[in-house]
Structure 1
Amino acid sequence: MIKPAFHFQRIVLLGALLLFAAFFLMPLYVMVATSLKGMDEIRDGTLLALPAAPSFAAWAQAWSSACTGTDCGGLRPFFVNSVLMVVPAVAVSTALGALNGYVLTQWRFRGSELLFALLLFGVFMPMQVVLLPMSQVLGWLGIANSIWGLILVHVLAGLPSTTLFFRNYYVGLPNELVKAAPLDGASFWQIFRRIVLPLSTPILVVTLIWQFTAIWNDFLYGVVFAGGDSRPVTVGLNNLANTSSAVKEYNVDMAAAMIAALPTLLIYIVAGKYFVRGLTAGAVKA
């Protein structure tokens, strides 16, 4: 039989959790509700009121016809730029991080600890420090103000974090699996592909979600290194919100913010539980 005191504690705990969840979800509710209202309803109604006649007109305008500065093509081109940038940047930085973690744990060499320490320094280095040297490098390579330049910047910026994730995860793998493989004739790449990678699913999911979120939501690199035709969705959203007009259309601004946030929201909704499992499986293990 459950004791009354224990039952009361559970009710208090659940109540507190629901209160915190409502507090954190309230901005999302306001954004969605406002984006589905017309401007007349926004002016005459209250902030928390449900839309009387929900409409996606503001979403359509934010996507295809809202002004982002002097251009009135909406967020669509910026969204496409972000997709073209994020997919290769996440794939390359994750693959290189997995390879680095594999080498630093299973194929240690002289100076490997020093190399890892230098890579780890990149995790804590402020992004502003690399703006000037990185812009010079992109200019020398001829990829400044392009999507390829942004891809390179995000790969280099994400490499310390992905290396840290995989290295700390691979430390916990049984060494016997890797040491026995060369005796059976397995090469460096065969061990990595057939033994290590199949065991890496938890940390692979963590890294993919982490990198996708960080790159998609980045604004600083996008506004500094991207040109007019290669700016990501975060820059487009900023331009849309700061574009002056006779009447401030809050519903369009909220719809644009939701469009920019949808990919990361969907990623966490679909793969959030795998993210938590991956962390508990060793992603943050010292």
Structure 2
Amino acid sequence: MPKEKLSIVKIGGNIIEDDTALNAFLQLFSNLKGKKILVHGGGKRATHIASKLGIESKMLNGRRITDAETLEVITMVYGGLVNKNVVAKLQAQEVNAIGLTGADANSILSDKRPIKEVDFGFVGDVKKVNYKAVDKLISADFTPVFCAITHDGNGQLLNTNADTITSQLAVGMSQVYETSIYYCFELNGVLKDINDKNSVIKHIDTKLYRELLQQGVIADGMLPKLENCFDALNNGVKTINMGNTAMLTQENDNFTTITL
């Protein structure tokens, strides 16, 4: 018997920061057919509120160093302010959303990132997704909304990369569902020419991926994103889509689909 489909959608901080963009996205998300999960970050809002509280945000290669003070801000902003706003807005769209961290229902367990050259502080690397607990919520007709926080099982919350949470959730849930990921970001998709917003590569498979790597088309911030994608595809995820929020509509086909 074929598995039921599950869409896992990730939105970044730029959409969260812009009320108009967020409302438009949540309308598209609510119209998305079938079972679904939303994952969100909120880094820009966290940086803004931290500075209001006189806490300096420290970044390294685009990743946040999370000391104890910063973790408090992140928990307030991701798990509280952003998550509950999104949940309330989805309820207004008649989507019965439930806001979660990885600690809720023991749904996402992480290890604290080991100290190598850099101590990232209270940052988690996902170890296990409790897909049965998440499926109980989905089966009860709730739409889970995960923020970028997990836990270590010993009472410690951990700041965790939202892209990674998305891919690991999709891998975990693929035990039960045919899972597809939608990474919503500013660009229309993976671009052949970074200076031409319309040069979207519509489909990337393993063979083309290797060619694009050799040609240097995939570089910088796209490297870890695509690496993450193929790791998820090799571990049970069916398809991954990358592009702007319009890819959630039936009419738009100007985005990148990634398959094995």
TM-score bin, normalised by smaller chain: under 0.3
Q: TM-score, normalised by structure 2?
A: 0.23
Whichever structure has more helix as a proportion of its residues is 1
Larger radius of gyration between Structure 1 and Structure 2: 1
Greater relative contact order, per chain length (Cα 8 Å cut-off, separation 6+) = 1
